Amino acid sequence: MPLNVEHIEADLAVIGFGKGGKTLAAALGRQGRRVVMIEQSALMYGGTCINIGCVPTKSMVYRAEHLTPGGVYEDAYRSAVAATADLTADLRAVNFAMLDNLDTVTVLTGHARFTDPHTLQVETVGGATVTVVAQSIVIGTGSRPVLPDIPGLSTTPQVMTSTELLSLPELPGLLTVLGGGYVGLEFAAMFARYGSEVTVLEHGPRILGREDADVAACLHDILSSRGVEIVTAAEVTSVTEARQAAWVTFQADRMQHAVEADAVLVALGREPVTDDLGLAEAGVETTGARAIVVDEYLRTSQPHIFAVGDVNGGPQFTYISLDDYRVVLSQLAGDGSRSTASRTAVPYVLFTSPPLARVGLTEAAAVAAGMDILVATLPVAAMATVPRARIVDETAGLMKVVVDAGTDKILGAALLSYDSHEVINTVALAMRHGITATELRDTIYTHPSMTEAFNQLLGALAAPSS
């Protein structure tokens, strides 16, 4: 687009280059629709996942997994950071070209703000102001880490979010992680493997408070055995800088403690990015948690404006954003039948080593709901029918499945095991299509594979102990 263009009429405007928005922009652009993609930073072409989320973290995890536990690998860490930066740069270029090469799509780099329900004013990084008037608008501005109001947290130089920590050029000797949830534990495990001394401070009574206690305890033991110190029931009271290091002060066991850190990772949740978008001018409603209010078709309080991905307050996964694209595409170029109401058995994964993959109900949730269930829980090391785990020398973890005693339908599973991020998709597919535990137990699987664990695991179903 020529730099002197000041006004664009479009069929669709998308704010944010994330998975849902970019896929929709490409799909409608190929159909000949006039599309404008607006991204605030050239470093974010392609969205959070490929630049500061899923791809770089898994790249760093993958390289860490090839290191022998117990060593300090500063050179390997530097190489991993450099390789990861090259990977994300390549993907960023591919994603930009995916849209920029379409004659019907204009990519604007700058900040977008509504001036009315159909009009966006874009202040580009080049200093130009472009007005975009669109029949339909999709908001996909994502989420950002939450920084609680803890003294010193926002002013101490060693404090950082996952974004800054991912690109830290030198391996921190001492890393303190605030938060024992999915992001915090993934980074804790990864940096411990590179050789950092890692301390995790979790406010709750245990890590992974939403998971079953036995699953959380198993992962706790694995991390502890690999050098990660985990402190639960810890209330962080302040962060200060001294001698080019940070000191994190916290209360635990009715006593005050302090831990020194070269880097402090804040992993205490994420919030939707909805400020300074002019949503009031557009008549778009938000929740008290700043998420954009949407219906099951992802329409906002303005029917022609949609919100996809993290910004709508739903599950914060790239694959959910991709499904959001399918829902909106159905509205704009389909029969309008697809909706979020049809989503079931959505899995998620914590990429520790081994990864923890989850889908459906936990045992605790099923018991609390008064359901009549059968449960099977087996340590991977005790599963004779899973030689794959021994072949790759990763026998840590456990596998757990919860089944409805009356219907034999699978209610949920927790797989803390090698390759669980792949195996969990089989469980989720079975749940969506009503495949019973017996059918999954008696199916023929390739050998040696982790999937054949179902032959033994589902043969161990029994009523839970009271």
Residue 202 assigned to a binding site: yes
Is residue 447 annotated as a catalytic residue, yes or no?
A: yes
Could you tell me the two tokens for 56? Answer: 């770089």
Residue 142 assigned to a binding site: yes
Residue 180 assigned to a binding site: yes
Please say whether the beta carbons of 391 and 448 come within 8 A.
Answer: yes
Residue 20 assigned to a binding site: no
Provide the residue type at 161 as one letter. Answer: T
Could you tell me the two tokens for 394? Answer: 């990763």
Residues 6 or more apart from 45 whose CB is under 8 A from it? 17, 39, 51, 92, 93, 95, 96, 107
Could you tell me the two tokens for 266? Answer: 């804040």
Residue 294 assigned to a binding site: no
The DSSP code for 77 is H
Q: Give the up-direction half-sphere exposure of residue 199: CA atoms within 13 A in the CB hemisphere.
A: 20
The DSSP code for 291 is P
Residue 269 assigned to a binding site: yes
- CA dist., res. 125 & res. 109, Å (int): 6
Residue 186 assigned to a binding site: yes
Could you tell me the two tokens for 174? Answer: 């001492």
Residue 16 assigned to a binding site: no
Could you tell me the two tokens for 223? Answer: 């991390």
The residues that bridge with 307 in the sheet, in sequence order, are 139
| Active-site position among 7, 111, 421, 447 | 447
Please say whether the beta carbons of 368 and 200 come within 8 A.
Answer: no
Residue 422 assigned to a binding site: no
- CA dist., res. 387 & res. 396, Å (int): 13
179's torsion region: left (phi>0), alpha (psi -120 to 50) or beta? left
Question: Directed axis angle between helix 74-100 and helix 54-65, to 10°?
Answer: 150
Residue 22 assigned to a binding site: no
Residue 94 assigned to a binding site: no
- 129 vs 17, 55, 122, 339, 437, CA distance in Å? 19, 33, 6, 36, 59
The DSSP code for 362 is -
Residue 181 assigned to a binding site: yes
- CA dist., res. 268 & res. 253, Å (int): 21
- CA dist., res. 210 & res. 401, Å (int): 16
Provide the residue type at 136 as one letter. Answer: S
Residue 141 assigned to a binding site: yes
Q: Give the up-direction half-sphere exposure of residue 466: CA atoms within 13 A in the CB hemisphere.
A: 2
Known binding-site positions for FAD:
58, 141-143, 310
Give the active site residues.
447
Annotated binding site: 58, 141-143, 179-186, 202, 269, 310
Residue stretches of the annotated binding site for NAD(+):
179-186, 202, 269
